[in-house]
Amino acid sequence: MKTREEALIYGLSFPNTYQDTPFRDTNWQLVRVKESRKAFLWIYEKDGYINLNVKADPEWRDFWRNTYPSVIAAYHQNKEHWNTIILDGTIPDEDVRRMIAESYDRITDSPSRRIYEAVKRIPKGKVATYGQVAEMAGNRKMARAVGNALHKNPDPDSIPCYRVVNAKGELAGEFAFGGAGAQARLLKEDGIEVVDGMVDLKKYGIYKLAETGQNTDQIRKDKARKDAVSALKEKCTEENLWNCIVAFQEYPFYTSSGLPFHYTLKVGRNGEYTKELFINRRENSKSLSWSSVRIAFQKAMDKKNTVFVRPKEIADVRGISYSYSLLWRFGVITVPENVEKRMKGEGE
């Protein structure tokens, strides 16, 4: 990618975007997101080359700058959050596209967006509580935000917010979902029985209590993990990978050499999970950055249909022995049978 036209065409290939030239200097072209009107791609010519300004994840910002001399701190923008890509032909097209895509993801990401995506995953014939939707969206503490987002549903035809009930199975107030009785009617059309304004969560809840008497919380976790892996296999995106990371907290993993470990995520001051996995391996603890997992994921995706015998065959990055186990458990990579046994905790 070397021309203004190529960059503009790729930028406009993302959903709900448009071109803008807000300055008197028409050298500057912006690609914005329609709903928020926020720009994720700035295109301009400088010193004989087309330059692109893109927003970068803080954990990837320096990685790109260190990898390519033609990726520098942003010109005329906040250098902590933005990079400039100089299209001088030294950066592979796939990495230019990846940086633009990351910028789009950063600009469009919001709790509401994640809530709407979570609601879309509630299957017909099932309901979920506000708390469950919050957890599916990555933060179990934002149940109240779920209610606020659903009452502002921008696309009721594809976001079935009527499938969300409170912790007791009670329907929302009559003012919601199009008027009196609307939610009950829509649920009945899904095949869900509504009695006295309530739904039986044991029968219709997305996490139904198993007849085995297994712990309800464990059933919920297992179901969330299975759903997250299925979504990742269907669409291998970093967003779905992150959903797997969230779902598999405290899961008993093993490295390729058979060492057991698990991880947790911490919640920051803004109520969101921090992008760092805290690894607990026997008596020792260490952290694994989300950026390292993402690099391993992208490298693995570039080598599809490869059987990875050792972790560093994917990428030589910090914490690759842990990322190797995660990617195998999530169904992203294939490993030899003897390695698989060790990562199942079965030894040789």
Q: Taking a C-beta distance cutoff of 8 angstroms, is the pair 52, 85 a contact?
A: yes
Give the integer Cα–Cα distance in Å for 125 and 163.
9
Q: Taking a C-beta distance cutoff of 8 angstroms, is the pair 293, 57 a contact?
A: no
One-letter amino acid for residue 334 of the chain? T
Give the integer Cα–Cα distance in Å for 107 and 54.
10
One-letter amino acid for residue 143 of the chain? A
Give the integer Cα–Cα distance in Å for 118 and 56.
25
List CB contacts of 267: < 8 A, sequence separation 6 or more: 139, 141, 273, 274
Give the integer Cα–Cα distance in Å for 64 and 56.
9
> What distance lies between CA 294 and its chain's CA centroid?
11
Distance set, CA 293 to CA 242, 317, 348 (Å): 10, 9, 26
Q: Catalytic: 161?
A: yes
Give the integer Cα–Cα distance in Å for 68 and 341.
39
Q: Of the residues 74, 101, 133, 161, which is catalytic?
A: 161
Q: DSSP secondary-structure letter at 30? A: E
Give the integer Cα–Cα distance in Å for 245 and 229.
10
Residue found under tokens 């739904």: 199
Helix axes 58-67, 93-108, angle to 10 degrees: 160
Catalogue the active-site residues: 161
